[in-house]
Amino acid sequence: MHELGVTFHIMDHLEKVAAENKVTHVRKVTLELGEVSTVIESYLQSCWTWAAKKRPLFDKSELVVETLPAITYCENCEKTYPTVANGKICPYCGSEHTYLLQGNEFNIKEIEVE
């Protein structure tokens, strides 16, 4: 489960930012999570809840996850389509000359502090 490592990475980063800004408590963290990022939201939420209890800065903090849909671009017909439903093959022209435009992201979008 790499979600625990991801959680620690986020918290470590936010602890540095909080120290630089003299923040004593984080109320809420909003993440953008790509649909095909390989991070499982339910596991991430469980890891966050567990880890937040162990770090005073995050005690009782909320983790909000916004899912970004995976979108693929076809170089042949220049159209975009939903990646999860169609995979690498373009549903419009059948081409395999495609690439992921979005959906693999993992971004800290917003932090609410006291």
Full-model pTM: 0.84
In a domain, 61, yes or no: yes
What is the per-residue pLDDT across 71-89, written as a single tens digit (0 to 9) for each? 999 999 999 999 999 999 9
In a domain, 81, yes or no: yes
Number of CB atoms found within 10 A of residue 41's CB: 14
In a domain, 49, yes or no: yes
Q: How many domains does the chain have?
A: 1
The CATH number covering residue 101 comes to 3.30.2320.80
Q: In the chain, how long is the greatest CA-to-CA distance? A: 55
In a domain, 70, yes or no: yes
pLDDT of residue 64: 98
By CB neighbour count within 10 A (0-12 exposed, 13-18 middle, 19+ buried), where does 74 fall?
buried
User: Is 2 annotated as a binding-site member?
Assistant: yes
In a domain, 18, yes or no: no
In a domain, 20, yes or no: no
Asked if residues 102 and 84 have their Cβ atoms less than 8 Å apart, the reply is no
pLDDT of residue 1: 55
**3-20 helix and 41-52 helix, angle to the nearest 10 degrees:** 50
Asked if residues 50 and 15 have their Cβ atoms less than 8 Å apart, the reply is no
Blockwise average pLDDT, block size 10, the chain, 114 residues: 90 96 97 95 96 96 97 98 96 97 95 93
In a domain, 17, yes or no: no
Number of CB atoms found within 10 A of residue 90's CB: 21
Domain range holding 44? Answer: 3-10+25-113
User: Is 90 annotated as a binding-site member?
Assistant: yes
User: Is 9 annotated as a binding-site member?
Assistant: no
